């Protein structure tokens, strides 16, 4: 198997609420939109973010477990300039995200902070000046 990630699927409690956040407030364009079931948005050339209504998902993957605390993973949105971290976090909070951790200058030389989407999925907004961080940005 080659190293590739094609879809990131988030099982959401209320697809309409997630749509209001990602599509209406953030302006992301759906490629597939089946109300009450699934919403898919291309987030990179070959990567799709899929938001799947919980009861639809459970029919295919089984019971969905939710516990206290943060989910055991994060999604990341890297930015080109250090000052963009605070700006993007502000835009996300204005769109309805919850601030989890204010932007902080990190020991590794970058800056990042965290917000949670309507279902509590964490988005890291980061400026990473290193080669790996710059490589995910593509052309300006």
Q: Report helix, strand or coil for 92.
A: helix
> Which run of H or E residues covers position 90?
helix 83-95
Residues 6+ apart with CB under 8 A from 20: 96, 118
CA distances from 109 to 17, 50, 113, 131, 137 (A): 36, 32, 14, 12, 17
Residue recorded with tokens 């209320």: 14
Most confident of 19-33, 62-76, 123-137: 19-33
Give the model's pLDDT for residue 86: 98
Residues 6+ apart with CB under 8 A from 137: 78, 80
Rounded to whole angstroms, how far apart are CA atoms 53 and 15? 5
Span 27-82, pLDDT tens digits: 999 999 999 999 999 999 999 999 999 999 988 899 888 888 888 789 999 999 99
The phi, psi pair for 56, rounded to 5°, reads -70, -40
Average pLDDT over all residues of the chain: 93
For the chain, list the domains and their CATH numbers: 1-62 (3.10.180.10), 73-140 (3.10.180.10)
> Are the C-beta atoms of 58 and 72 separated by less than 8 Å?
no
Q: How far apart are the first and last CA of the chain?
A: 31
Entry pTM: 0.89
111 pLDDT above the threshold of 80: yes
Residues 6+ apart with CB under 8 A from 117: 10, 18, 21, 22, 97, 123
15 pLDDT above the threshold of 90: yes
Q: Report helix, strand or coil for 126.
A: strand
């Amino acid at each position: 198997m080659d190293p590739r990630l094609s879809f990131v699927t988030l099982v959401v409690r209320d697809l309409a609420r997630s749509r209001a956040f990602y599509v209406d407030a953030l302006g992301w364009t759906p490629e597939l939109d089946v109300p009450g079931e699934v919403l898919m948005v291309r987030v990179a050339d070959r990567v799709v973010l899929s938001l799947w209504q919980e009861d639809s998902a459970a029919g295919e993957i089984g019971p969905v477990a939710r516990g206290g605390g943060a989910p055991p993973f994060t999604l990341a949105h890297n930015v080109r300039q250090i000052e963009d971290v605070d700006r993007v976090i502000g835009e996300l909070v204005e769109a309805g995200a919850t601030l989890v951790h204010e932007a902080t200058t990190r020991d590794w030389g970058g800056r990042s902070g965290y917000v949670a989407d309507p279902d509590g999925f964490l988005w890291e907004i980061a400026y990473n000046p290193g080669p790996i961080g710059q490589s995910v940005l593509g052309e300006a």
